Amino acid sequence: MLIFLDSSALVKYYVTEQGSVWIRSLVDDSQNVTLVSAIALPEVTSALARRQREGLFGKRFLRQSYQSFQEDLRVTFQRIPVEDAMLTDAAELALRRPVKGYDAVQIATAIAVQQMFVALTFISADKQMLRAAQAEGMQTDNPESHPNEAEQPE
Domain ranges (residues) in the chain: 2-145
Q: Look at residue 151 and tell me whether its pLDDT is greater than 70.
A: no
Give the architecture-level CATH label for domain 2-145: 3-Layer(aba) Sandwich (3.40)
Q: What is the pLDDT of residue 149?
A: 57
Per DSSP, 20 falls in state H
Cβ count within 10 A of residue 75? 7
Q: Per-residue confidence at 26, pLDDT binned at 50, 70, 90?
A: very high
Distances in Å between the Cα of 2 and the Cα atoms of 39, 53, 113 are: 19, 34, 10
pLDDT in tens, 90-145: 999 999 999 999 999 999 999 999 998 777 999 999 999 999 999 999 999 999 99
Q: Which of 115, 87, 114, 111 is nearest to 101 (CA)?
A: 87
Q: Per-residue confidence at 147, pLDDT binned at 50, 70, 90?
A: confident
CA contacts within 13 A on the Cβ side of 5: 30
Q: Look at residue 84 and tell me whether its pLDDT is greater than 80.
A: yes
Check if the beta carbon of residue 63 is closer than 8 Å to that of residue 108. Answer: no
